[in-house]
Amino acid sequence: MSDIALQTRGLGVKYGTFHALAEVDLDIRRNSVHSIIGPNGAGKTTLFHALTGRVPASSGRVVLEGRDITQASDDDRVRLGIARSFQVTSLFANLSLRENLRLAAQGRTPWQALAPWRRAQSNRAALELADQVTERLELSAVSDRLAGELSHGQQRRLEVGMAMAARPRLILLDEPTSGMGIDDIDAMKTLIRDLAQDHTVLFIEHNMGIVMNISDTITVMRLGRKLVEGTPAVIREDPEVQRAYLGNMITGDIA
């Protein structure tokens, strides 16, 4: 079995004459933490949209676990094992943390929604999975609290947990630490690193300290193209990366 969970070849997204993404080749290794960095407008979010099927690829291929999913819908990609969180937190604010996770777990088998006469408590598998994820998120103490009453950091962790509850092969995280305080960032770093035990993680992040501390591989993008790729040590020392994006900031953020 190949150790590549997700692969793209010549992936491009075009809007009219504008190339938002062009000729992107990626090899995301199974059970690794792979980060995507680059300045605003580099094409990072467009790349996520293309991988999840939110926007169609104009060119190239997307292959998940050896299966070509380039033409697959976003719904089909979820069923095939791709889950995603977004920059803006999207939760059921009037439901408890546990209920949010139960719904995410139940969503893996959407046919269950066609049985409205069944009590939620009857779905033991979804409830057990929700409790397991809650414990892994270290949020058991607030499992019965409404999602809208959680702190921002707890909400961000819950959103990652909802992606986990779908039992995906690949989890895409879009700026998971956005707006977090120091304490919450440490908890999120630990969670993302831990995810690689059971999942492949691809994430966009602007905080270079986090990227350098937890990534196995880093892809740097610029103007819709891949600029350079490598381990944190390689990226830290690459002069082209420093000139194009990081400058002296990279040294300061990691010191």
Taking only the tens place, the pLDDT of each residue in 171-218 is 999 998 888 888 888 889 999 999 999 999 999 998 888 999 999 999
Asked if residue 110 has pLDDT above 50, the reply is yes
pLDDT, average across residues 56-74: 95
CATH number corresponding to 1-81+168-255: 3.40.50.300
State the pLDDT at residue 244: 64
The end-to-end CA distance of the chain, in Å, is 39
Percent of the chain with pLDDT over 90: 60
Mean pLDDT of the chain: 86
Asked if residue 122 has pLDDT above 70, the reply is no
pLDDT, average across residues 2-10: 94
State the pLDDT at residue 251: 42
State the pLDDT at residue 254: 37
The pTM score is 0.86
pLDDT, average across residues 222-244: 88
d(CA 176, CA 63): 25
Domain with CATH 3.40.50.300 in the chain: 1-81+168-255
pLDDT, average across residues 157-171: 90
State the pLDDT at residue 2: 76
